[in-house]
Structure 1
Amino acid sequence: MVSLSTENLQIGYGDKTIVENLNLQINKGEITTIIGANGCGKSTILKTLARVHSAKSGIVYLDGKMIHKVPTKEIAKKMAVLPQSPEAPNGLTVYELVSFGRSPHQSGFGRLTDNDRKVIDWALEVTGLTSFSAQPVDALSGGQRQRAWIAMAIAQETDLLLLDEPTTYLDMAHQLEILQLLEKLNREQSRTIVMVIHDLNHASRFSHHMVALRSGTIVKEGTADEVMTPDVLKTVFQIDAEIVKDPRTKKPVCLCYDLIEKEQSLDKRRDMNF
């Protein structure tokens, strides 16, 4: 099973440092979610883990090897990546897109084998896209396109899946379907999954391990019970959250919340009126 970790990672763009001294261990065979406010470095960390973005300093280890020294094809056999808002060439069909997931396993002229076709058909089926396989990706709805990209990622058959906001554009039912699919892949095939996700309740429900970030720094990591607390959410999101237990899953749920800054400004205005 593939392992992934970082050592004193510093990440940024140009002169701007976004993440500094990041030491992160992705647990094998678990679902890890990264949560945090917009701009805190979640997607940048995921890109760096996937070697899409280069770190300023520090090391990403894949199976104990420095990832920048691992051949690209070897990485692609171990790690599938779904970026945020990917785009496909005009006219590319759903089947063709999903077939790209088989590229790391092909040799020679890159022709699809019977096994490749079997895996592609399976990926289309579990994402509910079998009937759309001949349609152009750019003719699909936003939610259907997102499912097509997820189908491509799982067709790659890697032990490790990195997904940046995989439920984007999906309605509530399809969000749940995709997350349950990822949960099934984790449970039945022991795939290690790392997700950036905005919905805290989904993160809590489907994670073994959560990592909460603020300004590129880990505020708290651990189980949902350890991370989904009023104090952690106050630090990470500047909100006053009410946390309860989900009666079905027994996981913590953010029932409601208020903005702390708003509350403080209201208190100031009240004081000025006296």
Structure 2
Amino acid sequence: MGVLYTEQLQIGYDERVIVQNLNLSVPEGKITALIGANGSGKSTILKTMARMLKASQGTVYLDGRSIQKQSTKEVAKQLAILPQNPTAPEGLTVSELVAYGRFPYQRGFGTLTREDKDIIRWSIDVTGMGEFADRPVDQLSGGQRQRAWIALALAQQTDILFLDEPTTFLDMAHQLEVLKLLEKLNTEQKRTILMVVHDLNHASRYAHHIVAIKKGTVISEGSPGEVMTPEVLREVFGIEADIVSDPRTGAPLCLPFELAVAR
């Protein structure tokens, strides 16, 4: 088992069950991508594993203990999450935003220590946001905003980072900018990253481990080569696709060409 895993997890809203009997382990020190059609339960799984949602049954284990039995500050020191489309208060600067990442470590009136300030500065620098430190977040481009939020997550100094579709609504250049940053964080700092990914070729290129979800159930998981197959894509997405090898990386590329015929 990895440092983060679920046992017989069931998640639902009101009387509707979204996820049932989920047993999922996140490989430590790797990038894992959750893929699946819209409404398949990917974001619901991510939020529940991060304790943003409560499971109706089963358990999420973080460092060998139930995540529900740990305090908010305990969890925030181990796991940081970047939700989809986060928004900052108008006029809040990048430095002020990133400073929120030090909340789990603050006591009393929450005064920032020298160590806090050093970590905030490091988080801003490592995400390439140094020149924008004093600029309001709402005045940044999409890619810059996303990097500012990642800097906030990094300031928590956690070994695990969750991201819910971090490249949504970004143009191609900004998508690559964010994905390259995540790759760097994993390679150089061994961060364990779990992200919901919409683009299958991004998942294949940047993730070591892929989990394909359909109606809250794991259909396939493993390396990109094991999951990115015509059979899995047909079942999970209802498409017919050719799989070719990326000439640069050797990773499988998905080339969809028509809808699968229902059988």
TM-score between the two structures when normalised by the length of structure 2: 0.94
Deviation by residue 1:211-266 (Cα, 9 ceiling, x = unmatched) = 000111100000000000011001111111111011111110113432225xx7xx
Residue matched to 1:271: none
Asked if 1:171 corresponds to 2:175, the answer is no
| Equivalent-residue separation in structure 1 for 2:174 and 2:154 (angstroms) | 16
Q: Which moved more, 1:226-235 or 1:138-147?
A: 138-147
| Equivalent-residue separation in structure 1 for 2:145 and 2:182 (angstroms) | 17
Q: Runs of 4+ in structure 1 displaced over 3 angstroms? A: none
Residue matched to 1:230: 230
Residue matched to 1:248: 248
CA distance 1:114–1:170, change in 2 (3 Å): farther
Residue matched to 1:94: 94
Residue matched to 2:7: 7
Residue matched to 2:43: 43
| Equivalent-residue separation in structure 2 for 1:257 and 1:21 (angstroms) | 33
Write out aligned runs for 1:83-122 (5 A).
83-122=83-122
Contact persistence 2:127–2:151 (CA under 8 A): yes
| Equivalent-residue separation in structure 1 for 2:259 and 2:98 (angstroms) | 42
Write out aligned runs for 1:166-245 (5 A).
166-245=166-245
Q: Which moved more, 1:244-253 or 1:81-90?
A: 81-90
Q: Which moved more, 1:221-230 or 1:168-177?
A: 168-177
Contact persistence 1:143–1:168 (CA under 8 A): no
Report SS of the residue matched to 2:77: helix
Contact persistence 2:239–2:256 (CA under 8 A): no
Q: CA deviation at 1:128?
A: 3.0
Contact persistence 1:98–1:149 (CA under 8 A): yes
Contact persistence 2:93–2:136 (CA under 8 A): yes
Q: Which one has a bigger Cα radius of gyration?
A: 1
Q: CA deviation at 1:181?
A: 1.8
Q: CA deviation at 1:135?
A: 2.1
| Equivalent-residue separation in structure 1 for 2:66 and 2:243 (angstroms) | 40
Contact persistence 1:212–1:218 (CA under 8 A): yes
Q: CA deviation at 1:129?
A: 2.2
Report SS of the residue matched to 1:185: helix
| Equivalent-residue separation in structure 2 for 1:201 and 1:226 (angstroms) | 14
Q: Which moved more, 1:187-196 or 1:112-121?
A: 112-121
| Equivalent-residue separation in structure 1 for 2:157 and 2:238 (angstroms) | 39
Q: Which moved more, 1:238-247 or 1:105-114?
A: 105-114
| Equivalent-residue separation in structure 1 for 2:103 and 2:169 (angstroms) | 27
The one-letter code sitting in structure 2 at the alignment partner of 1:250 is G
- Structure 2 unaligned segments of length 5 or more: list them: none
Answer 1 or 2: which has greater helix percent. Answer: 1
TM-score between the two structures when normalised by the length of structure 1: 0.90
Write out aligned runs for 1:18-57 (5 A).
18-57=18-57
Q: How many residues align?
A: 261
Residue matched to 1:270: none
Deviation by residue 1:54-95 (Cα, 9 ceiling, x = unmatched) = 001111111111111011101000000111111212221111
| Equivalent-residue separation in structure 2 for 1:188 and 1:144 (angstroms) | 21
| Equivalent-residue separation in structure 2 for 1:116 and 1:179 (angstroms) | 26
Residue matched to 2:260: 260
Cα RMSD (Å): 1.5
Contact persistence 1:146–1:168 (CA under 8 A): no
Q: Which moved more, 1:103-112 or 1:151-160?
A: 103-112
